[in-house]
Amino acid sequence: MGPAERRPEPATGILGPANVLLAHWCRDTLRCPVAATPDLAFDVGMHDASDTAYYLRSGYRVVAVEANPELVQRARQRFAAEIAQRRLTVVWVGIGTGEDESSFWVCDDHSEWSSFDRSVASRNNCRHHEVRVPVRSLDKILEEHGVPRYCKIDIEGHDHLCVEAITPESRPDFLSVELSRGRLLERLSGLGYDRFKVVHQVSFCPVARRLQRLKERLGNQRVALALERAHGLMRGSLFDRGWYFRIGSSGPLPDRTPGRWHGVAEVETTIAELRGARARSAISRGEWFDIHATTAAQAVRA
């Protein structure tokens, strides 16, 4: 029976039900932060599981969340041993604001564009089809599996729902989310994060302003891609202890990326420059970035 034929299995949580219940009783009753589990990572938007594989290789236990039932089935087959060892839990669910069922649009030409938003899955006239998937909010998944040390969020069109479901008491030590329009930085700051990196998702290293201006002047997409990839190679961000990051993956864990962590004011300036470049340059409109977030205390330890 494939994942499209059944509801997600009832999970007791990768930490075990007693520990999870105790942690969240402390959070809800005493209003104190739930300590992140140091060897737990969330991969929200698992896609082809390349990030999941890297997190497992890095020694983490992983909760991988994915709405596309075909990708869930592949991951469960590929990582059958890790699942049996309780090192991996693959959760077939889409992220929403409550518990329900909804239409999910699978992009047949570019699976990474699959989304609850049909306009995302069908852009550039891509072929796509509808599937019905269960929906849950991220806060419920956190309650079930525990607060991770690291959480990656990459779900086309619904990233903001994940960030909105996190509270200051349930925030991971490190969070990565795609930089998008809206008040993302303000929301992250409201959760208590005060150190950030804006990371180019071709080089997987922090934005280099001079390189951004050079690529804009050259005006050639292929040259810009090659320059950015070469920049990542020189900064050492294309590899992590023998692991190679292809374009389309999320890159190294935040505490393994090069460069220093920045405060809110510096990051606001960087984001404003990137948005200005996107408004005037076709080269910049084809680029995408993640924002890594943590706290000053965690950044010192990283």
Instruction: Kindly state the tokens that stand for 225.
Output: 């891609």
Alpha-carbon distance of 186 to 183, in angstroms, equals: 5
For residues 143 and 20, the answer to whether their CB atoms sit within 8 Å is: yes
What DSSP letter does each residue of 239-302 carry, written as one string? Answer: EETTEE--BTB--S-GGGSSS--B-HHHHHHHHHHHHHHHHH-HHHHT--EEEEEE-HHHHHH-
Give 300's pLDDT tier (boundaries 50, 70, 90): confident
Average of pLDDT values for 191-216?
96
pLDDT at position 69 is 95
Which sign does the torsion angle of CA 6, 46, 263, 182 carry? negative
Task: Tell me: pLDDT of 6 over 70.
Answer: no
Alpha-carbon distance of 71 to 64, in angstroms, equals: 11
Q: Which residue has the higher pLDDT, 280 or 4?
A: 280
Give 152's pLDDT tier (boundaries 50, 70, 90): very high
CA distances for 4 relative to 56, 84, 101, 110, 215, angstroms:
26, 21, 12, 20, 44
Angle at 163 between CA 31 and CA 275, to 5 degrees: 140
Task: Tell me: pLDDT of 28 over 80.
Answer: no
pLDDT at position 285 is 81
Give 263's pLDDT tier (boundaries 50, 70, 90): very high
Instruction: Kindly state the tokens that stand for 102.
Output: 């909804």
pLDDT at position 8 is 43
Domains of the chain: 3-9+34-172 (3.40.50), 199-301 (no CATH)
pLDDT at position 156 is 80
Environment class of 67 (CB within 10 Å of its CB; exposed 0-12, middle 13-18, buried 19+): buried
Average of pLDDT values for 61-79?
97
For residues 250 and 290, the answer to whether their CB atoms sit within 8 Å is: yes
Average of pLDDT values for 245-254?
96
Average of pLDDT values for 40-45?
98
Give 22's pLDDT tier (boundaries 50, 70, 90): low
Average of pLDDT values for 251-275?
95
Q: How far apart are the first and last CA of the chain?
A: 43
Q: Say which residue the tokens 């202890």 belong to.
A: 241
Task: Tell me: pLDDT of 1 over 90.
Answer: no
Q: List, in sequence order, every beta strand (DSSP E) within 146-277.
A: 148-153, 174-178, 195-200, 239-240, 243-244
Query: pLDDT averaged over the chain?
Result: 89
In single-letter form, the type of residue at position 57 comes to R
